[in-house]
Amino acid sequence: MINVNLTEIEVTEKLITKSKELGEVSPRVVIVQRTVINPSKSIKRLVRFALIVSAGNEKLLDGLIAECVSNDMSFYFVGSDINLQNDLNIEYLYFEAEIMPKQIS
């Protein structure tokens, strides 16, 4: 990844904004995992985001993957899962990003 200067909030906002541009009515983002990368040498962490959207929207998925590629891989698509409980008809799209704390000025 080239860009590691994003915060968790910025990734969340980008995923929601792009989802709405691609026709999703009410996307939500949940952080499902945070992992410190090499804790003895770095304060970077790998964060996994779950974007919760309506199931079966290929245009949305293709658009988000294209956004990841054109965004210098600051966050990237890692997989998806469909919720089969209670016929909710929602899909979880998983993205990961390396997050590094920004300096306070």
pTM flag (> 0.75): yes
- 1 assigned to some structural domain: no
Q: Output the domain CATH number for residue 78.
A: 3.30.2000.10
Q: Tens of pLDDT along 64-104?
A: 888 888 866 678 899 988 876 766 788 899 999 988 766 54
Structural domain boundaries, residue 48: 8-99
What integer pLDDT is reported at residue 22 of this predicted model?
92
Residue 45 domain flag: yes
**How many domains in the chain?**
1
Residue 2 lies in a domain: no
Q: Can you tell me the distance from the alpha carbon of 34 to that of 36, in angstroms, rounded to the nearest whole number?
A: 7
Contact residues for 25 (Cβ-Cβ < 8 A; gap 6+) = 54
Report the pLDDT value the prediction gives residue 3, as an integer from 0 to 100: 46
Does 95 fall in a domain?
yes
